[in-house]
Amino acid sequence: MPAYTGVRRLLGAVLFLLAALAPASAPARAAPADTAETVRIGVLAFLGADAAIGEWSPVQRRLQAALPGRTVSLVQLDHHGLHDAAAAGEIDFLITNPGHYVELEAELGASRILTLDPGPPRAPERSIGSAVIVKAGSGLRTLADLRGRRVAVVSPEVFGGFQTAWRELARQGIDPQRDFAELKVVGLPMTGVFEAVARGDADAGIVRSCLLESRAEWRNNFTVLDARSEPDFPCATSTRLYPDWPLATLRQTPPALAKEVTLALLAMSAARDGMEWAVPADYQAVHEMFRELQIGPYAYLREPTLMVLAERYWPWIAAFALLLAAWILYTVRVEHLVHVRTAELRAALAAREALEARIRANQEQADHLARLSVLGELSGTLAHELNQPLATIANYAHSLIRRSDNGRLTDDAVREASGEIAGQAERAAGILGRIRGFAKKRAAVRERVAPGALATEAVALFRGMLAHAPEVSIEDALPASAFVEVDPLQIQQVLLNLLKNGYDAARGLPPGRQRLAVRIDEGTGESAGHARIAVRDHGSGLDAAARERLFEPFFTTKSDGLGLGLSICRTIAEAHRGRLTVDDAGGGPGCEFILSLPLGPSTSEPPEHRTDHAADR
């Protein structure tokens, strides 16, 4: 390593000498040397002004000898003073720590021309670090032990006295401003850090590496936390190593003067002058440290710009983007499933509507067949009922013929016979019209109809189809304005079934037991707001078991019945939001069927009259 370092220094010196002796290739290189009387070199006095004069006096002596006719002046300054002097053009060169140089390079255009060579075994590019010191026997061992402790530093701006240690602390997740009990700033010189720790004003301190080894009393009284083993580095350090101090020019420094100073200092040797300089080292490690800490020229990284936030929080942004993409995919999938499900529901609704249409058609067909069934059961008596008006018509027609043949035909006799013939024909036509209207097939319609009118028409149809119809009384207790919104033909079908069942139940009994009664009133309790049409017979009645199954399809008490009539009637009642029930006759013979239908609005006025109808033949 020493042989390599010597060769490198020799090559550097040769290169600079060749540059100095080479012929000028541009007007700037041919310019004469600056003849200013004073060459001002600003020096960072990290150990104090007196120590700075003693440490850098070899530079002053060498330049004074190499620059006859000029005065070389060393200006000892702190960080802020050195910055202000460089910005004001009050100095021509500056010597400072690597961190401060990087800041001045970015802000003021400082340019390094040499790097201090500390001499073997240290190399210029690996010679500065930080040592975190504590009292011997304090019990502190590692940097992690500094959490909650008081730590003394010269200043947060000091490179070897704080910033290099800050990087190592940050690698362990320690923030000095947050995790230290106190960051105690003692100022220059750096020896004040040792004094603060020795007095107990601080639990630990941060100083430049190799400063501890410069005094025997410090080596005996202090130890270094997390001391690293760095090759070819003779001192204890808590951090990695960085390049040594540079000598830099400023924008206002004359190039010829910079060349003279460079050649003069490269000719220095540690044996003769007590100090050596080497060609400029690579300060990329300092840039990397500042970038990690986001200080100096990289302080802008702390500003919350979009790019900085993206670099700082890219894992969170990536996770959010993945969640957003997953949410979008989920939303698209749900939307697709909704569309698919909607299409399925539409298809199901269409199928359901088609099924309901078929059911309605089948129901209408069943109602029609039920009406035809009733007509079929009454067809035997229907012929006899029509024979009466036809026989009367025939008798009057023959009477007219006979009187005409005998010459006894008068106008009064013709008028009387014609009137009877017309009356009997209208009677027959009325019977056939009611039967035809009841039997025809049509779609269900809803109309506002008075319950009494429905019962009257049903009774007229029933009596018109029987040769010896029983007595049927109608009692209407509802007001004249009462109405129900129903399909009249379907309700007539229900009432006709009930009347026929009552007629069949009393067939063969004495005439007094064959009479039927229809009562119309408004329900109470659960039936409030409903019109009740009760059909009562005086037949043999039904037992409890028969009443329980009376409305089941295909159950019948007749030897020739199908058991569908009452089942269809109950379905019609429920389709009109009503009910069809059966009850005993209040202790008397027979049964009472009750059809309940919802009344329309405005039907609460009291009944104005009660009408009893006795429809006798």
Q: By percentage, how much of the chain surpasses pLDDT 70?
A: 77
Q: Is residue 414 part of a domain?
A: yes
pLDDT band at 199 (very low <50, low <70, confident <90, very high): very high
Q: Which of 463, 454, 519, 516 is nearest to 489 (CA)?
A: 454
The string of pLDDT tens digits covering residues 202-212 is 999 999 999 99
Peptide bond preceding 246: is omega within 30 degrees of 0, i.e. cis?
A: no
What is the distance of C-alpha 132 from the center of its chain? 52
Question: Which one is predicted more confidently, 184 or 188?
Answer: 184
Neighbouring residues of 422: CB distance < 8 A, sequence distance ≥ 6: none
Co-location of 473 and 377 in the same domain = no
> Do 36 and 89 touch, CB atoms closer than 8 A?
no
Domain shared by 478 and 612, yes or no: yes
What is the widest separation between alpha-carbon atoms in the chain? Answer: 185
For 592-603, how does the pLDDT look when each residue is reduced to its tens digit (9 = 90+)?
A: 889 999 998 864
Say which CATH number the domain at 264 has. Answer: 3.40.190.10
Reply yes or no on whether the pLDDT at 137 is more than 60.
Answer: yes
The helix (run of H) or strand (run of E) holding residue 289 is: helix 284-293
For residue 114, list its beta bridge partners: 247
Q: How far apart are CA 134 and CA 54, in angstroms?
A: 28
Higher pLDDT, 439 or 247: 247
Strands 130-135 and 204-208: antiparallel
Name the pairing type of β-strands 71-77 and 38-44. parallel
- Whose CA is closest to 154, among 105, 191, 106? 191
Bigger pLDDT: 67 vs 427: 67
Whether the per-residue pLDDT at 145 is higher than 70: the answer is: yes
My answer on whether 473 and 594 are in the same domain is: yes
Q: Is residue 605 predicted with pLDDT exceeding 60? A: no
Mean pLDDT value of segment 510-535:
87
pLDDT (mean) for 323-336? 93
Choose between 44 and 310: higher pLDDT.
44
Residues 595 and 510 in one domain: yes
What DSSP designation does 298 have? G
Global pTM exceeds 0.85: no
pLDDT at residue 420 greater than cutoff 80: no
Q: Are residues 597 and 459 in the same domain?
A: yes
For the chain, the straight-line distance linking the first and the last C-alpha, in angstroms and rounded, comes to 144
Looking at the chain, the whole-number percentage of residues with pLDDT higher than 90 is 41
Q: What is the pLDDT of residues 50-94, one digit of tens each?
A: 766 778 999 999 999 999 989 999 999 988 999 999 999 999 999
Q: How far apart are CA 46 and CA 452, in angstroms?
A: 120
What is d(CA 571, CA 599) in angstroms, rounded to the nearest whole number?
Answer: 19
Whether 308 maps to a domain, the answer reads no
Closest Cα partner for 497 from 458, 549, 542?
Answer: 458
At 404, the pLDDT band (50, 70, 90 cuts) reads confident
Nearest of 51, 13, 210 to residue 127 by alpha carbon: 210
Does a structural domain hold residue 28? yes
Q: Which stretch of 43-57, 92-106, 215-229, 283-297 has the lowest confidence by average pLDDT? A: 43-57
Residue scoring higher pLDDT (458 or 263) = 263
Mapped onto helix, strand or coil, the DSSP state of residue 355 is helix
- pLDDT at residue 170, rounded to an integer: 93
User: Could you tell me the pLDDT band of residue 437, with boundaries at 50, 70 and 90?
Assistant: low
Mean pLDDT, the chain, rounded, equals: 81
How far apart CA 203 and CA 138 sit, in angstroms, is 8
pLDDT computed for residue 371 by the predictor: 60
Separation between Cα atoms, residue 157 and residue 135, nearest integer Å: 24
Q: Is the pLDDT of residue 379 over 80?
A: no
Model confidence band, residue 8 (pLDDT cutoffs 50, 70, 90): very low
Note the pLDDT of residue 378.
Answer: 53
> What's the CA gap between 61 and 70, in Å, rounded?
12
Supply the range of the domain harboring residue 362: 313-443
Residue 341 domain-assigned (yes or no): yes
Q: What is the DSSP letter of 297?
A: G
The DSSP annotation for 389-452 comes to HHHHHHHHHHHHHHHHHHT---HHHHHHHHHHHHHHHHHHHHHHHHHHHHH-------EEE-HH
For residue 114, pLDDT over 90 is answered with yes
Q: Is 554 helix (H, G, I), strand (E, B) or coil?
A: coil
Distances (CA, A) of 572 to 104, 487, 495, 498: 101, 9, 11, 13
Q: Would you place residue 98 in the very low, low, confident or very high pLDDT band (cuts 50, 70, 90)?
A: very high
Which one has a higher pLDDT value, 508 or 223?
223
Q: What is the mean pLDDT of residues 387-395?
A: 68
User: Which residue type occupies 147?
Assistant: R
User: Same domain for 493 and 616?
Assistant: yes
Q: Provide the β-strand partners of residue 39.
A: 72
* CATH number for 552: 3.30.565.10
Question: Is 275 among the domain residues?
Answer: yes
The more confident residue out of 427 and 230 is 230
Asked, for residue 249, whether it belongs to a domain, the answer is yes
**Residues 325, 434 within the same domain:** yes
Sign of CA dihedral 76, 79, 80, 83: positive
Q: How confident is the model at residue 383 (pLDDT cuts 50, 70, 90)?
A: low
Q: So what's the pLDDT on residue 497?
A: 83
> Best-predicted range by mean pLDDT among 29-38, 288-297, 431-440?
288-297
Boundary of a domain, candidates 224, 241, 258: 241
Instruction: Answer yes or no: is pLDDT of 33 > 50.
Output: no
Mark whether 470 and 605 lie in a shared domain. Answer: yes
Pick from 66-70, 328-332, 568-572: least confident: 568-572
- The confidence score (pLDDT) of residue 562 equals 53
> Which pLDDT score, from 0 to 100, does residue 6 have?
47
Residue 226: CB atoms within 10 Å: 19
In a domain, 289, yes or no: no
Which residues have a Cβ under 8 Å from the Cβ of 449 and sit 6 or more positions away?
483, 484, 485, 486, 488, 491
The C-alpha atoms of residue 2 and residue 120 are separated, in whole angstroms, by 6
Task: Report whether pLDDT(15) > 50.
Answer: no
C-alpha closest to that of 534 among 602, 604, 478: 478
Give the per-residue pLDDT at 514: 82
The Cα–Cα gap between 556 and 577 comes to 25
Q: Are residues 360 and 255 in the same domain?
A: no
Q: Which of 60-64, 247-251, 352-356 has the lowest mean pLDDT?
A: 352-356
Q: Is residue 320 part of a domain?
A: yes
Token pair in block for residue 433:
């019209």
The pLDDT of residue 610 is 40
- pLDDT for residue 476 is more than 70: yes
Going by pLDDT thresholds of 50, 70 and 90, the confidence category of residue 587 is low
HEC-encoded secondary structure of 101-137: HHHHHHHHCCEEEEEEECCCCCECCECECEEEEEECC
Question: Does position 361 have pLDDT exceeding 80, yes or no?
Answer: no
Based on the structure, what is the number of domains in the chain?
Answer: 4
Cα separation, 155 vs 176, whole angstroms? 12
Q: In the predicted model, what is the mean pLDDT of residues 129-150?
A: 93
User: Of 188, 210, 241, which residue is a domain's last?
Assistant: 241
Looking at 377, 411, 443, which one is the last position of a domain? 443
109 and 197 together in one domain: no
Evaluated on CA atoms 77, 78, 79, 85, the torsion sign reads negative
Residue 305 is predicted with a pLDDT of 63
* Beta strand pairing call for 447-449 and 588-598: unpaired
Are 344 and 376 contained in the same domain? yes
- Angstrom distances, CA of residue 561 to CA of 372, 373, 498, 558: 14, 10, 14, 5
How does DSSP assign 142-189, residue by residue?
SGGGGTT-EEEES-TT-IIIIIHHHHHHHHTT--HHHHSSEEEE--SS
Alpha-carbon dihedral angle through residues 224, 229, 233, 236, given to the nearest 10 degrees: 10
SS3 content of the chain, % helix, strand, coil (to 5): 50, 20, 30
116 and 165 share a domain? no
